[in-house]
Amino acid sequence: MLSFARNLLEQADIMKDHFCEGEKRTPKLAVSCQHYSFAVNAFVDVVNEYDADEYNFILRETQTGEIIDDVANGSSEIGVLYLSEYNSEVLTKLIKKSNLVFEEIFTASPHVFIGKNHPLASHAVITLDELKPYPYLVYEQGERNSFYFSEEFLSVLDMPKSIQVRDRATLFNLAVGLNGFTVSSGVIDKELNGEEIIARPLDMNCTMRIGMIKKKNAMLSRYAQSYAAALKKYATIG
């Protein structure tokens, strides 16, 4: 009931923002996302675009299940995550059950993120067998710790060594310090992540569909619309 009331108030506020242009409004936007640098870059663009004396912006890099929960209960207006042939059936059912919709932004083939001095850094393409001697770095998913909620394309069951982390900085530090690796979209920002981390294609025939989730039939605020546009701008392999 509280969630329903919050949704009504949010939609009323968005309608007011759209149609009462002469009235001074405090910019606000909440986004929940998986650990993607392009999602942070897009958020920076929105904050810069709507910079004001007062604003209230929230960016949550969090677990996959919490992204869906956040958007469903109104804590966030937009969520950013990926679907694939491995998790699509389970996550799509949960998204629909939560009265949300998934909008694809771009597709990507899985890439391996490693340190620039990693023994495999000179390889143009990396195979699964080549990765097995090194620690597999994955994001912790809490109570919903099944493969379907994983941010990474590979199951930890496929790798003899694995380390779970909660934040991107720790993951990248371990990638450099332990010659660890993770698997993601290949979209990487050197300004945000530094020069130490590089991406190499993984020899695996599958596709990541990266997109955003939002409430079904809900009007997005102007800030959320700007964020969606910025996501598409940064959705390039770099």
Question: Which tokens in the block code for residue 67?
Answer: 């992204």
Asked whether residue 6 falls in the same domain as residue 99, the answer is: yes
Residue range 172-183, pLDDT digits in tens: 999 999 999 999
pLDDT band at residue 17 under the 50/70/90 scheme: low
Q: How many CB atoms lie within 10 A of CB 48?
A: 9
Asked whether residue 97 falls in the same domain as residue 6, the answer is: yes
Q: How many CB atoms lie within 10 A of CB 4?
A: 10
Percent above pLDDT 70 for the chain: 88
The pairs formed by 168-173 with CB atoms below 8 angstroms and a separation of 24 or more are: 168/35, 168/37, 168/61, 168/193, 171/35, 171/137, 171/139, 172/113, 172/196, 172/197
Asked whether residue 75 falls in the same domain as residue 155, the answer is: no
Asked whether residue 178 falls in the same domain as residue 226, the answer is: no
For residue 23, pLDDT beyond 90: no
Domain count, the chain: 2
Encoded amino acid at 154, one letter: L
Asked whether residue 8 falls in the same domain as residue 75, the answer is: yes
Residue range 102-149, pLDDT digits in tens: 999 999 999 999 999 999 999 999 999 999 999 999 999 988 878 899
Asked whether residue 93 falls in the same domain as residue 173, the answer is: no
Asked whether residue 213 falls in the same domain as residue 102, the answer is: yes
Asked whether residue 226 falls in the same domain as residue 193, the answer is: no
Asked whether residue 95 falls in the same domain as residue 124, the answer is: no
The alpha carbons of the chain give a radius of gyration, in whole angstroms, of 19
For residue 237, pLDDT beyond 50: no
The residue length of the chain stands at 238
> What's 66's DSSP letter?
H
CATH code where residue 153 lies: 3.40.190.10
Non-local (6+) Cβ contacts of 156 within 8 A are 136, 138, 162
Task: Give the range among 12-16, 35-39, 56-60, 227-231 with minimum mean pLDDT.
Answer: 12-16
pLDDT band at residue 15 under the 50/70/90 scheme: very low
In this prediction the pTM is 0.87
Asked whether residue 102 falls in the same domain as residue 76, the answer is: yes
Does residue 33 contact residue 81 with C-beta atoms inside 8 Å?
A: yes
Report d(CA 79, CA 60) in Å as an integer: 9
Q: How many CB atoms lie within 10 A of CB 97?
A: 10
CA 188 from chain center: how many Å? Answer: 12
CA 60 from chain center: how many Å? Answer: 10
Give residue 61's domain range: 2-106+209-234
Residue range 83-109, pLDDT digits in tens: 999 999 999 999 999 999 999 999 999
pLDDT band at residue 191 under the 50/70/90 scheme: confident
Residue range 32-43, pLDDT digits in tens: 999 999 999 999
Asked whether residue 18 falls in the same domain as residue 99, the answer is: yes
pLDDT at 10: 55
Asked whether residue 102 falls in the same domain as residue 213, the answer is: yes
